[in-house]
C-alpha cells in the first residue's frame, strides 16, 4: 500500500479553514442562507460573510463582502429579505436588511450595545432582538477615552451585582439583556422586557401577538444563575407571564402551528442539580398548566453538547421543529459522542433517531411545507458544512456546501479509531485514538492524552484541528469522555459531583492503560493536556502520579476556594462542589482537598501553564498560583500569558495568539517526548 505523501495539518492550517454555520432555510424551503467565517491572518482577525445555496443542490452564492463580520441571517416571512447583524459601521454591530433579489444591504438600526438574538414577526413588519445596551457609564468612558490622550483621567468601575463580569464579554456595568421590538421599516425600537433578569431565545407566536422567551423570573439573577423560565410577553409590550413555575434551566421555546402550545428544552430539578441533569423536550399549554415531558425515557440529553475548536463552544439548546399538523417534533440529541436528529410524537411515545450516529449536527432550520431540515454537519475528518434532509423521504442527508473540500483533499487528515474501555467498577468509557501519518507497526510512538473542559460536555465525532495537528507532529493522540461527561446518562454525568479528580481520573488512566496495552506507544513518553476543567484534571493527574513525562495545563482551575469568588460564575458551582467554602471548617477543608494546588509538592512533571489575562471564567490568578508554587519548589515550569484573550482562546482567540498557543504546546511536548527529527518545524 502506497504511503500518503500529503502533508499533515500544521498549526497555521487552522486559519485556512472556513468555519460554516448558522444556516436558515427560506420560507419556501428552496434556499439555505448561512454564514462563513474566515481568517485575515495578517490583520489578526476574523471576518464573516453570508452565503446562500439552493436546497436542491448547486453552487453556493456569496451575498455579502467587505472587511467585517455579517452574522445571524434571518429570512423575512415572504422570503424577499434577509435580516442580519453586521459590524460594518464603526465596529458597532447593527441590524441590516438585504433584498434577496440583489442590491446593497440597508442599515436598519443605530444601537449601542450587543445583539444576541434576532427573529422576524410573522407579518414581516417587526423583528424581535435580545439586546444588551451599553450603560451610560460605558458610553461616557468611551467618549472620555477619545479625548484623554495622556491617560490622565481617573479610571475605575462601580459594581452592585454579584454577576458583574462574564467571560467573552468583560465587565457588565450592571447592564442586562432584554427583549426589544424593532420596526422593520424605520429601525425604531421598543423595549418589551425589563427587570433584574437576563432575557433571551425570543420567538413569535404564529399570529404574531405573543413572544415566548427564556428568562429567570423566579429569583434575582445573582442568586440563581442555573434557573431559567419559559415566559410570554405581548408583542406590543405588556406584562410577562411565566409558563414554567418550577426550578430548572429551560430554553429554546417553539410555538406549535396553532399557537396553543410551546415546546422547550430543559429540566426541572433542585437548585444546582442542572449541572449534571439531562435536558428533555417538554410541551406546555400557552394558558398555563403542568408541563409534559415528551422524552421521559430518553437515556441521554437533548441539545448539542459537543465541543470542537472549529466552532464556538457547545451547550447549545436549539428550538424543536414542529410538523405542520402539530403531531411531531424534531430535535437534537447528544449521545455517545454524537449529535443526531430525533423525532417524537407530541401526543407521547418513544423518541426515534432519524440520522445515524457518528457525526455532529447543529444549527437546525426547517420548512414546514416541504418537510426539509437544514443543518450543519461535521465528522472527524470534515469541519462543519451545510446539509439538508428530506424527512418525508427518510433519505440520507445531502451535502450542500463544501467550502473546505479542496484544502482537505490536499492534506493528510487522520481518521481516529473509536475505543470502548472498561473502567473500575465496570463502567464503559468511550474514546478515540488518532495515530500519526505514516504509522508503522513495530514502532513505539509518544502519546498525548487530551482531556475536555466542562466538565459536563462531550468530545464528539466532530472535527478537532488540535488532535490532527498533534498527530501530524508524530504523536498518538488519545481523548475520551470519562465520567462527568454528558451524553451517557445522568449517572455517568453525576458520578463526579463533589468528587472532581475521583472517578474521572480513574477513567482517563484506564484509557491510557488501554492505549499502552496496544503495544505501539512508549509508556515512558506520555504527555497530558487539557483546558478549563481539563486543565484541572491535568493539574490533578501530575499532582497524584509521575506517569507523564510532560504536561500542558490550559486556562485551568487550581484553587477551588479562590475560584469560587474569582470566576464569573464560580459561586454557581457551590452545589457541584460542597456549598460555600466559608460555611464551616470542614467545607473549607473539602475545597482544599479537591484543589490541585493542595498537591503541588508532589508535582515532578515538567509543566507548561497557558492562561489568558482576560479570562473571567478561570481567571489568570489561578495559573499564577500554580506557577508561583512550582517556582518556589524549584520545579520545571513555564507560564505563557496571552494578552487581551478570554477563556475561549483556543476556539475564538485572535488568530496569531491561537497560532502561538498551538506552537507552544507542540514545542513543549517535542522537548520532552521527542517524537522524531524535524517534528517541531510546523
Number of other CB atoms surrounding residue 327 within 10 Å:
12
C-alpha to C-alpha distance for 572 and 580, rounded to whole angstroms = 10
Maximum separation of any 2 CA atoms in the chain, in Å: 72
Strand segments (E) across 460-509: 476-481
**Listed residue (616, 611, 647, 556) closest to 172, CA to CA:** 616
Tell me if 610 sits within 8 A of 556, measured CB to CB.
no
Annotated active-site residue 544? The verdict is no
Coil/strand/helix, residue 601: helix
Strands 321-322 and 301-302 turn out to be: unpaired
Annotated active-site residue 340? The verdict is no
- Determine which one of 254, 423, 532, 556 is catalytic: 532
**Listed residue (549, 527, 535) closest to 595, CA to CA:** 535
C-alpha to C-alpha distance for 326 and 214, rounded to whole angstroms = 22
Task: Output phi, psi for 530, to 5 deg.
Answer: 180, 160
Coil/strand/helix, residue 196: coil
- Determine which one of 456, 465, 611, 647 is catalytic: 647
DSSP state of 655: H
How many CA atoms lie within 13 Å of 78's alpha carbon, on the beta-carbon side? 8
Strands 521-531 and 476-481 turn out to be: unpaired
Contacts of 100 (CB under 8 A, 6+ apart): 31, 52, 79, 80, 81, 82
Give, in degrees to the nearest 5, the angle at Cα 166 between 160 and 170.
Answer: 90
Tell me if 401 sits within 8 A of 385, measured CB to CB.
yes
DSSP state of 447: E
C-alpha to C-alpha distance for 404 and 383, rounded to whole angstroms = 8
Q: Which sequence positions are flagged as catalytic?
A: 532, 647
Amino acid at each position: 500500500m502506497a504511503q500518503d505523501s500529503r502533508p499533515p495539518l500544521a498549526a497555521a492550517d487552522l486559519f485556512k479553514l472556513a468555519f460554516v454555520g448558522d444556516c436558515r432555510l427560506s420560507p419556501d424551503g428552496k434556499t439555505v442562507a448561512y454564514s462563513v467565517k474566515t481568517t485575515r491572518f495578517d490583520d489578526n482577525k476574523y471576518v464573516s460573510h453570508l452565503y446562500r445555496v439552493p436546497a436542491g443542490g448547486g453552487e453556493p452564492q456569496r451575498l455579502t463582502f467587505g472587511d467585517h463580520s455579517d452574522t445571524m441571517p434571518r429570512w423575512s416571512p415572504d422570503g424577499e429579505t434577509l435580516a442580519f447583524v453586521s459590524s460594518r459601521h464603526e465596529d458597532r454591530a447593527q441590524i441590516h436588511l438585504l433584498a434577496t433579489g440583489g442590491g446593497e444591504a440597508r442599515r436598519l438600526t443605530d444601537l449601542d450595545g450587543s445583539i444576541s438574538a434576532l427573529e422576524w414577526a410573522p407579518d414581516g413588519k417587526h423583528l424581535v432582538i435580545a439586546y444588551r445596551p451599553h450603560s451610560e457609564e460605558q458610553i461616557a468612558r468611551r467618549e472620555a477615552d477619545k479625548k484623554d490622550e495622556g491617560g490622565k483621567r481617573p479610571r475605575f468601575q462601580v459594581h452592585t451585582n454579584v454577576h458583574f463580569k462574564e467571560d467573552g464579554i468583560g465587565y457588565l456595568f450592571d447592564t442586562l439583556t432584554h427583549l426589544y421590538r424593532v420596526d422593520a421599516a424605520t429601525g425604531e425600537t421598543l423595549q418589551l422586557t425589563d427587570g433584574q433578569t437576563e432575557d433571551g431565545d425570543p420567538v413569535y407566536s404564529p399570529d404574531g401577538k405573543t413572544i415566548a422567551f427564556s428568562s429567570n423570573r423566579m429569583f434575582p439573577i445573582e442568586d440563581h444563575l442555573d434557573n431559567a423560565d419559559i415566559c410570554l410577553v405581548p408583542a406590543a409590550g405588556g406584562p410577562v407571564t411565566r409558563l414554567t413555575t418550577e426550578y430548572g434551566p429551560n430554553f429554546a421555546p417553539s410555538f406549535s402551528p396553532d399557537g396553543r402550545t410551546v415546546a422547550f428544552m430543559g429540566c426541572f430539578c433542585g437548585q444546582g442539580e442542572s449541572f449534571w441533569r439531562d435536558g428533555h423536550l417538554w410541551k406546555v399549554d400557552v394558558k398555563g398548566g403542568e408541563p409534559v415531558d415528551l422524552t421521559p425515557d430518553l437515556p441521554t440529553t437533548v441539545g448539542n453538547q459537543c465541543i470542537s475548536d472549529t466552532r464556538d463552544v457547545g451547550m447549545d439548546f436549539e428550538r424543536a421543529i414542529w410538523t405542520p399538523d402539530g403531531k411531531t417534533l424534531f430535535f437534537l440529541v447528544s449521545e455517545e459522542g454524537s449529535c443526531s436528529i430525533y423525532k417524537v410524537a407530541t401526543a407521547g411515545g418513544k423518541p426515534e433517531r432519524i440520522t445515524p450516529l457518528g457525526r455532529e449536527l447543529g444549527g437546525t432550520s426547517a420548512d414546514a411545507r416541504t418537510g426539509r431540515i437544514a443543518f450543519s454537519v461535521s465528522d472527524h475528518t470534515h469541519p462543519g458544512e451545510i446539509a439538508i434532509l428530506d424527512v418525508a423521504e427518510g433519505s440520507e442527508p445531502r451535502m450542500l456546501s463544501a467550502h473546505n473540500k479542496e484544502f482537505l483533499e490536499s492534506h493528510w487528515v487522520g481518521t481516529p479509531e473509536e475505543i470502548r474501555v472498561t473502567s473500575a467498577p465496570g463502567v464503559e468509557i468511550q474514546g478515540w485514538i488518532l495515530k500519526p501519518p505514516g504509522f508503522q507497526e513495530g514502532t513505539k510512538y509518544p502519546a498525548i492524552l487530551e482531556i475536555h473542559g466542562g466538565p459536563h460536555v462531550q468530545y464528539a465525532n466532530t472535527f478537532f484541528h488540535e488532535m490532527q495537528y498533534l498527530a501530524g507532529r508524530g504523536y498518538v493522540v488519545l481523548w475520551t469522555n470519562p465520567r462527568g461527561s454528558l451524553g451517557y446518562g445522568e449517572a455517568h454525568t453525576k458520578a463526579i459531583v463533589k468528587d472532581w479528580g475521583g472517578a474521572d481520573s480513574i477513567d482517563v488512566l484506564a484509557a491510557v492503560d488501554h492505549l499502552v496495552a496496544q503495544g505501539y506507544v512508549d509508556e515512558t513518553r506520555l504527555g497530558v493536556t487539557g483546558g478549563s476543567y481539563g486543565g484541572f484534571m491535568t493539574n490533578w493527574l501530575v499532582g497524584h502520579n509521575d506517569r507523564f513525562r510532560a504536561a500542558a495545563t490550559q486556562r485551568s482551575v487550581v484553587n477551588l476556594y479562590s475560584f469560587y469568588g474569582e470566576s464569573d460564575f464560580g459561586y454557581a458551582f457551590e452545589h457541584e462542589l460542597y456549598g460555600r467554602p466559608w460555611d464551616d471548617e470542614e467545607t473549607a477543608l473539602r475545597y482544599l482537598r479537591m484543589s490541585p494546588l493542595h498537591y503541588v509538592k508532589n508535582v515532578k512533571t515538567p509543566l507548561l501553564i497557558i492562561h489568558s489575562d482576560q479570562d473571567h471564567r478561570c481567571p489568570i490568578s489561578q495559573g499564577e498560583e500554580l506557577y508561583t508554587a512550582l517556582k518556589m519548589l524549584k520545579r520545571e515550569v513555564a507560564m505563557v500569558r496571552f494578552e487581551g484573550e478570554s477563556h475561549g482562546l483556543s476556539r475564538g482567540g485572535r488568530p496569531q495568539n491561537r497560532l502561538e498557543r498551538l506552537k507552544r504546546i507542540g514545542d513543549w511536548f517535542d522537548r520532552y517526548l521527542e517524537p522524531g527529527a524535524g517534528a517541531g518545524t510546523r
